[in-house]
Amino acid sequence: MIFTTYGYLPEDQVELRPTATEDEDKIVTRTDKYLKSTGEWVGNDLHVHLKKPLSLEVAQGQFS
């Protein structure tokens, strides 16, 4: 079953069209969902893969 703007529909009634973009920070895959019978857009899923961490440089002072 696939969740859509009409609620859950059988998989054979929904066409999934994924598109992916990638840069140095992330990979984004957006999957748009369409009714096979009419072509109507009925929502989208989104998947983001984080690639860039947050880093903390721990600094050490000097004796004066």
Partner 1 sequence: MANTQGIGATFKQAALGAVIDGKALKAALYLASATTGPANSAYTATGEVSGTNYAAGGVSVTNANSAGLTSTTAFWTPSASIVYTNVTLTTAFDAVMIYSTTDSNRNVGVFTFGSQTVTAGTFTLTMPTNDATTGLVRFQ
Question: Coil, helix or strand for 37?
Answer: coil
Residue whose C-alpha is closest to residue 17's, from 36, 38, 61, 49: 36
Task: Work out the number of other CB atoms within 10 angstroms of the CB of residue 16.
Answer: 12
CB of 16 to partner 1, least distance (A): 11
Map residues 21-50 to x or -, x wherever contact with partner 1 holds by CB under 8 A: ----xx-x-xx-x--------xxxxxxxxx
CB of 64 to partner 1, least distance (A): 15
The structure tokens 């054979």 sit at 12
- Binding residues (CB under 8 A) for partner 1: these are 3-5, 25-26, 28, 30-31, 33, 42-51, 53-58, 60
